Amino acid sequence: MTIKKRLFISNILMLVIPAVLAIIVLISCLFIFFVSMFPHAEYRLGFQEELTETRYQAVELAAGWLSDPDDDQRAETESALSQLAEKNQITLQIYEEQNLLRQFGNGVAPSHTQLEQALAALNGEGTVSDGSFDLYGRQISAGGAHYQIYVYNPVVTLSSRNLKVWAAGIGFFMIVALLFIIFLTNRFLTRFVFRRISEPLKTLAEGVHQIRDGNLTHRIDYPEKDEFLPVCEDFNEMAERLRASVEQSQKEEESRKELLASISHDIRSPLTSIRAYVEGLLDGVANTPEKQKDYLATIQTKTMEIDEMVKKLFLFSKMELGEYPYSPERLDAVKEIKDFISASAEEYRRRGLQIRVGAMPNSAIIKADPTYFRSILINLLDNSAKYKEKGMGTATIRARTDGQYFKLLVEDDGPGVPAKALPKLFDVFYRSDPSRKNPNQGSGLGLAIVWKTMERMGGSIYAENLPDGGLRMILDIPLAGGEESETNFNH
């Protein structure tokens, strides 16, 4: 149940419960009032039939008493009449003509002339009342004589003072009771609503404390479907993003440490060689012009390696910071590849790598910076040239269109890499040689630059080993919108 629904129910109950309980209390007070004020008047207030029966019984006993000649029986009847009068608080008078023959009960004032006159107007039969007493009259005949029977019963009334006192007392009690009921209802409904607010708040606070203390795996399991559910879901998403961010920061920190170590190693190796050859020259080890020329050529080569490494490191750093200029334009990728191979094939052949062109579409329009695109080809072919095992290695370039992508494949007949190393090929300074004993195989920056370049172009790259040996690089480059690329292949 949502908090909104709970508040709505709480507001309704805040009105209904006090009203219902107040009515119950009022009815109880009125019941107590009537029971207290009229303890012996049940027959007057609600049991008229019982009063009528009592009167008839009194008249029958009186008739029996008047007509019974047996003294013992008359004594028993007198006793019954006395008990009946005392029990029901009535007074029974028996008149013979105008003379009072006998009276049972003594709850009547000495004179009730007005009631008797009123009853006489009814020919002695019926019931009259003056507000204080009721008088029931009946004429009977017994033993040849006529008798008038009077039955008096008091009418219980409340004085105005007593009524005001009771009204004030009931009113005061009702106010106190109503305030107490409202207090209890408010406490109950507050717990009913606040419990659904305090418990989620405690859960969220506990989650915040867990995150604060470094437990980034903590998640909130909140089963209720109320207003706190999206908050808890957002908390879990925040915690997951924070965990991923911290892990990424740790990974980047490790990468920076590895980068520093790799730079130190890769620069120190050629510098060590340069230093050794310079010392050889200074010490006169190269004592012939031919040796001196070889030493200087080696120094030049090592210097060029350092220069190339610094250039790549500078390029990669700019890419990391997003500060390297990128000017994309519409390019025919197939034409760019063929032009590059035509211009560079001979140079790679001298380096021991023969480039072959496989199946390609007639054209494929992409949107890329020409410099970036050529750097991709250069780094991939340089990687194949550095890791070749044969005296003359082979690299094959093929391409095709695949949906919205231009798929470029660069394959070589080199040694390949271990399967577990494939995902790491594009990490900065990564080389499949874990001991890094062969610095001549490059710095490991080339494929990292290719990865960054593909990311900048909106594409992707991954590597796989060929079944017969060698490595295949697969690049997916988005085709430019607005024009369809030709899908005919040539060889």
User: For 274-307, what is each residue's pLDDT tens digit?
Assistant: 888 898 888 888 888 888 898 898 888 888 878 8
The pLDDT mean for the chain works out to 80
Which residues are 401's β-sheet partners?
A: 406
pLDDT over threshold 60, residue 102: yes
Q: 370 pLDDT exceeds 60?
A: yes
**What local confidence, expressed as pLDDT, does residue 430 receive?**
56
pLDDT band at 435 (very low <50, low <70, confident <90, very high): very low
φ/ψ bin of 293: left (φ > 0), alpha (ψ from -120 to 50), beta (otherwise): alpha
pLDDT at 41: 43
pLDDT of residue 107: 63
Residue range 294-341, pLDDT digits in tens: 889 888 888 887 887 787 777 777 766 666 677 889 999 999 999 999
* pLDDT, mean of residues 13-35: 75
According to the model, what pLDDT value does residue 489 have?
A: 38
pLDDT at residue 12 in the model = 76
pLDDT above 70 coverage of the chain, percent? 82
CATH topology of domain 227-323: Helix Hairpins (1.10.287)
pLDDT of residue 50 exceeding 80, the answer is no
Write phi, then psi, for 22 (nearest 5 degrees).
-65, -40
Q: How many residues does the chain have?
A: 491
- How many Cα atoms are found within 13 Å in the side-chain-facing hemisphere of 86? 6
Share of the chain above pLDDT 90, in %: 15
Q: Which two tokens stand for residue 455?
A: 């990311």
Q: Please enumerate in sequence order all residues whose Cβ is within 8 A of that of 424, keeping only pairs 6 or more positions apart, or say none.
A: 430
- Place 487 in a pLDDT band, splitting at 50, 70 and 90: very low
Single out the residue of 232, 195, 488, 183 nearest to residue 360, CA to CA.
488
pLDDT at 157: 58
Handedness of CA 77, 83, 86, 88 (dihedral sign): negative
Q: Which amino acid is at 54?
A: T
Model confidence pLDDT, tens digit, residues 215-246: 888 888 888 777 778 888 888 999 899 989 88
Dist CA 84 CA 57 (whole Å): 9
Q: Are the C-beta atoms of residues 143 and 94 closer than 8 Å to each other?
A: no
Distance CA 11, CA 459 (A): 60
Residue 43, pLDDT score: 40
Tokens (6 digits) for 344:
């560079």
CA 319 to each of CA 327, 379, 380, 444: distance values in angstroms, whole numbers, following the listed order: 14, 15, 18, 16
Residue 391 has pLDDT above 50, yes or no: yes
What are the b/e assignments for 6-43, b being 16+ CB within 10 Å? beeebeeeeeebbeebbeebeeebeeebeeeeeeebeb
**Confidence class for position 45, pLDDT limits 50, 70, 90:** very low
Q: Is the dihedral of CA 193, 194, 197, 200 positive or negative?
A: negative
Domain 42-154 class in CATH: alpha beta
Backbone dihedral region for residue 131 (phi beyond 0: left; psi -120 to 50: alpha; all else: beta): left
**Any idea which fold 325-490 has?**
Heat Shock Protein 90 (3.30.565)
pLDDT higher than threshold 60 for residue 441: no
Bridge partners for 461 per DSSP: 475
Ranking 64-78, 367-381, 398-412 by mean pLDDT, the lowest is 64-78
Residue 434 has pLDDT above 60, yes or no: no
Give pLDDT tens digits for 248-268: 888 878 777 766 776 776 677
CA 406/CA 392 separation, integer angstroms: 29
Using CA atoms, how far apart are residues 479 and 73, in angstroms rounded to an integer? Answer: 132
Mean pLDDT within 343-364: 92
**224 CB-contact burial (10 Å; exposed 0-12 / middle 13-18 / buried 19+):** middle
On the question of pLDDT at 272 being above 90, the answer is no
* Residue with tokens 């305030």, as numbered in its chain: 179
Residue 361 clears pLDDT 90, i.e. is over it:
yes
Contact 104, 66 (CB under 8 A): no
In this predicted model, what pLDDT tens digit does every residue of 139-179 receive, in sequence order? 888 877 888 888 888 775 555 566 677 778 777 877 888 88
Please list the residues that pair with 411 across neighbouring strands. 396, 472
How confident is the model over 181-223, as pLDDT tens digits?
888 877 777 776 667 777 888 888 888 988 888 888 888 888 8
The two structure tokens encoding residue 11: 């507001």
For residues 2-9, average pLDDT:
66
Question: In this predicted model, which residue has the larger pLDDT, 236 or 32?
Answer: 236
Give which of 351, 416, 415, 359 is closest to 381, Cα–Cα. 351
Count CB-CB contacts under 10 A for residue 44: 17
